[in-house]
């Protein structure tokens, strides 16, 4: 059976899609992977002007995409909710061209909003982990047998929808049995006016630079109301446990990528809860990484509750050079509203630990902040700004304008309060130029004298309160903010957030290697903590992250 798998998003990161693409290629060799990139969100213009909306596509582009997919026996789509409308349009056009086409929609959107996804002109949607469920689905489809009872799928039968239950989450042994994510193995990318063409080096460089994005662990111990993970946990409470492959597996995965793309000299881990992995597993990972790869890596998804000095020491020795931590708010009232058990005191303690490593060994950390909550009070905003003012430096922010994901606890709470929710395809990276948001940009760049900060706070209002907007000032503040961020990265020769040819040529000329060998200070091997003195025998099991 000829299968075409399609990822729709701003870029080509697609960590989950790459996993399912590799697995499908193993069980069905006649499988091709296609990337439709709607917009480069990381472009300089978008950053400075705060314009990060979901990319638009005209009917001619949709038709060109559909024509390139219509000769398959099956097409599988993967997208997040922000790209659901574009995905739906492509599906409809493929259906017009090939009424008999077998089409399946997976990814985040069908999981968190299956009631919407199933109304597209597809035959089925995948509502859970896809690998082993899709293997069952595919085998039955190939044999012409009934696939309507496969778990992790909703399937259309005439005017009815069969809503099946869920398979158990993959065990760590099953995760270990999967092939490495597909990367540089014949993928194709859509180019306007040309259709789908094989991805070449320039595609990987433009979208990723010298960085490779991946996941080591799956799961999150928290149930934050704004996060799509709450739907995963609702479907299976075991999602709160951290599951991951062995340290050997993830190190070998990165080595396999570097064998094809030697310019990959930085790795970004997009795990939700990397630091919730117990110390002993992190130590084993660190030793393998240091001895066999010895390249920098970034850890996203750091939760304040799991920041520990010993974990930071062993990971920094291995090569960790930047972290991104979720703060979300400095207001206890809003943190309670989000059901996020990270009080400001824990946030401040975590920031103090992180500050011991930056800028000596790390690039300035990034802290996530959620702004523009329609139910926030002025005091909530003030509390957030006061926390930002007090935190140890250096740091930078990734500021999000609150957008409510359907079928989350936050969406339900907002409905109860009568809040008129914006469309989900209005990007959370489009930051209104209100005074509070401008002050966050400023605080990441410069801490003003207290008397000046107090005067500026008097101009701050809750986002729902009518207030002046400052687009020109926002442009200046963003430019200064971005300029300092670039400086912080360049002095550590870190290009993890700067895709493009500059990073590639910095690698090719040897500048990155020279800088890391002779300029950047490396942390010595730390002494093992007392609690880790027992023999280092670590079974690869799902981790109950309530015990960090």
- The terminus-to-terminus CA distance of the chain in angstroms comes to 46
Residues in the chain, overall count: 548
Fold of 3-177: Rossmann fold (3.40.50)
Q: Are 72 and 99 in contact (CB under 8 A)?
A: no
| 152-180: burial string, b at 16+ Cβ within 10 Å, e else | bbbbbeeeebeebeebebbebeebeebbb
Minimal CA–CA distance to 269: which of 207, 347, 322, 203? 322
Phi, psi of 76 (to 5 degrees): -115, 130
Separation of alpha carbons 117 and 84, rounded Å: 8
Cα–Cα separations (whole angstroms), residue 115 to 92, 102, 152, 157, 163: 17, 19, 14, 15, 10
Q: Where in the chain is the domain with CATH 3.20.20.70?
A: 207-424+508-518
Tokens of 501: 């040819």
- Confidence at residue 472, expressed as pLDDT on a 0 to 100 scale: 95
Phi, psi of 296 (to 5 degrees): -70, 155
The 8-class DSSP code of residue 543 comes to B
Tokens of 330: 């400095």
- Confidence at residue 422, expressed as pLDDT on a 0 to 100 scale: 63
Separation of alpha carbons 347 and 340, rounded Å: 12
Q: Where in the chain is the domain with CATH 3.40.50.2300?
A: 3-177
- Confidence at residue 479, expressed as pLDDT on a 0 to 100 scale: 94
Separation of alpha carbons 403 and 299, rounded Å: 24
Q: Are 5 and 34 in contact (CB under 8 A)?
A: yes
Separation of alpha carbons 457 and 435, rounded Å: 9
Separation of alpha carbons 56 and 79, rounded Å: 15
Element (H, E) at 476: helix 471-491
User: Strand pairing of 195-198 and 31-37?
Assistant: unpaired
Q: What is the mean pLDDT of each run of 10 residues along the chain (548 residues)?
A: 96 95 98 87 50 72 98 98 94 98 97 96 98 98 97 97 98 97 97 97 95 97 93 95 98 98 97 97 98 97 96 98 98 97 98 96 96 96 99 96 85 87 61 96 97 98 96 95 94 90 95 94 90 40 47
Q: Are 391 and 20 in contact (CB under 8 A)?
A: no
CATH class given for the domain over 207-424+508-518: alpha beta
Separation of alpha carbons 186 and 56, rounded Å: 26
Tokens of 449: 């004298």
Separation of alpha carbons 302 and 323, rounded Å: 7
- Confidence at residue 473, expressed as pLDDT on a 0 to 100 scale: 96
Cα–Cα separations (whole angstroms), residue 133 to 20, 169, 245, 525: 11, 11, 20, 43
Separation of alpha carbons 195 and 281, rounded Å: 45
Minimal CA–CA distance to 243: which of 301, 299, 172? 172
Strand order in the sheet with 153-157: 160-163, 153-157, 124-126, 102-106, 74-79, 3-9, 31-37, 188-191, 195-198
State the DSSP string of 387-424.
Answer: HHHHS-SS-EEEEEE--PPTTSHHHHHHHHTT--PPPT
- Confidence at residue 418, expressed as pLDDT on a 0 to 100 scale: 86
244 SS3 class: strand
124 SS3 class: strand
Cα–Cα separations (whole angstroms), residue 507 to 42, 202, 254, 260: 20, 14, 17, 15
- Confidence at residue 49, expressed as pLDDT on a 0 to 100 scale: 53
Q: CA torsion 152→156→157→163, rounded to 10°?
A: 40
Separation of alpha carbons 450 and 240, rounded Å: 42
Minimal CA–CA distance to 351: which of 328, 371, 332, 327? 327
């Amino acid at each position: 059976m000829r299968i075409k798998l399609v990822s729709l998003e701003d870029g080509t990161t697609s960590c989950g899609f790459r996993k399912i693409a590799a697995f499908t290629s193993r069980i069905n060799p006649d499988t091709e992977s296609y990337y439709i990139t709607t917009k480069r969100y990381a472009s300089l213009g978008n950053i400075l002007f705060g314009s990060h909306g979901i990319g638009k596509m005209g009917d001619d582009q949709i038709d060109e995409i559909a024509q390139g997919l219509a000769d398959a026996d099956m097409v599988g789509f993967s997208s997040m909710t922000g790209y659901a409308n574009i995905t739906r349009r492509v599906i409809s056009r493929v259906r017009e061209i090939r009424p008999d086409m077998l089409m399946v929609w997976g990814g985040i959107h069908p999981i968190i909003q299956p009631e919407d996804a199933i109304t597209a002109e597809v035959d089925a949607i995948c509502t859970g982990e896809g690998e082993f469920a899709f293997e069952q689905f595919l085998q039955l489809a190939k044999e012409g047998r009934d696939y309507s009872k496969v778990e992790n799928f909703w399937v259309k039968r005439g005017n009815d929808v069969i809503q099946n239950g869920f398979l158990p989450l993959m065990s760590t042994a099953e995760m270990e049995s999967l092939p490495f994510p597909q990367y540089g193995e014949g993928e194709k990318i859509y180019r306007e006016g040309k259709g789908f063409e094989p991805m070449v080096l320039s595609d990987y460089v433009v979208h990723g630079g010298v960085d490779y994005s991946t996941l080591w662990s799956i799961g999150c111990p928290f149930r934050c109301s704004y996060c799509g993970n709450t739907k995963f946990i609702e479907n299976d409470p075991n999602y709160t446990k951290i599951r991951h492959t062995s340290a050997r597996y993830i190190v070998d995965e990165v080595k396999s990528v570097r064998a094809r793309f030697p310019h990959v000299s930085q790795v970004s881990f997009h795990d939700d809860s990397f630091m919730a992995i117990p110390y002993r597993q992190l130590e084993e990972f660190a030793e393998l990484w240091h001895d066999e790869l010895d390249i920098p890596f970034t850890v996203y998804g750091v939760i304040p509750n799991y920041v520990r000095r010993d974990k930071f020491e062993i990971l920094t020795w291995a090569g960790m050079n930047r972290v991104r931590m979720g703060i979300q708010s400095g207001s206890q009232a809003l943190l309670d509203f989000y059901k996020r058990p990270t009080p400001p005191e824990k946030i401040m303690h975590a920031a103090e630990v992180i500050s011991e490593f930056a800028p000596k060994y790390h690039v300035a950390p990034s802290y996530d902040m959620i702004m523009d909550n329609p139910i926030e009070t002025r005091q909530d905003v003030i509390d957030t700004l006061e926390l930002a003012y007090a935190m140890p430096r250096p740091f930078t922010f990734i500021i999000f304008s609150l957008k409510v994901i359907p079928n989350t606890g936050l969406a339900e709470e907002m409905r109860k309060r009568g809040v008129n929710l914006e469309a989900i395809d209005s990007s959370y990276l489009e930051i209104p130029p209100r005074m509070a948001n401008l002050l966050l940009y400023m605080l990441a760049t410069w801490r003003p004298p207290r008397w000046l900060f107090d005067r500026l706070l008097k101009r701050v209002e809750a986002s729902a309160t009518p207030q002046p907007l400052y687009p020109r000032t926002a442009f200046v503040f963003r430019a200064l903010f971005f300029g300092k961020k670039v400086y912080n990265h360049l002095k550590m020769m870190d290009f993890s957030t700067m895709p493009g040819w500059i990073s590639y040529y910095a690698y090719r000329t040897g500048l990155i290697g020279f800088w890391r060998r002779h300029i950047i200070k490396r942390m010595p091997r730390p002494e093992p903590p007392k609690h880790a003195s027992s023999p280092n025998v670590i079974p690869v099991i799902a981790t109950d992250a309530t015990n960090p």
